[in-house]
């Protein structure tokens, strides 16, 4: 994708490319940067919970798709 070519962080689900690199240990960033990424992901998880509530009420089929994507191993 164009973002990757430009080196610009893009969202992938709830993490940016930079978040993934930091959290996975692939980056050489200091611990402070890793903690910042973890904090951002936690905030996005909270927003995801709100989105799930909205989907439950207005589009349950999409909520099932989300659950399937997130909980594959729980089946």
The three state secondary structure string of 21-54 is HHHHCCCCCCHHHHHHHHHHHHHHHHHHHHHHHH
pLDDT of residue 33: 97
| pLDDT at site 11 | 55
Domain boundaries, the chain: 2-74
In this predicted model, what pLDDT tens digit does every residue of 35-51 receive, in sequence order?
A: 999 999 999 999 999 99
> For 49-69, how does the pLDDT look when each residue is reduced to its tens digit (9 = 90+)?
999 999 999 999 999 999 999
- In which band, very low, low, confident or very high, does the pLDDT at 72 lie, cut at 50, 70 and 90? confident
């Amino acid at each position: 994708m164009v973002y990757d070519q430009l080196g610009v962080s893009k969202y992938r689900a709830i993490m940016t490319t930079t978040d993934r690199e930091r959290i996975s240990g692939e980056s050489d960033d200091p611990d402070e940067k890793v903690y910042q990424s973890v904090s951002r992901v936690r905030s996005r998880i909270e927003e995801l919970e709100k989105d799930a509530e909205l989907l439950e009420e207005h589009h349950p089929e999409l909520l099932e798709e989300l659950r399937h994507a997130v909980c594959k191993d729980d089946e």
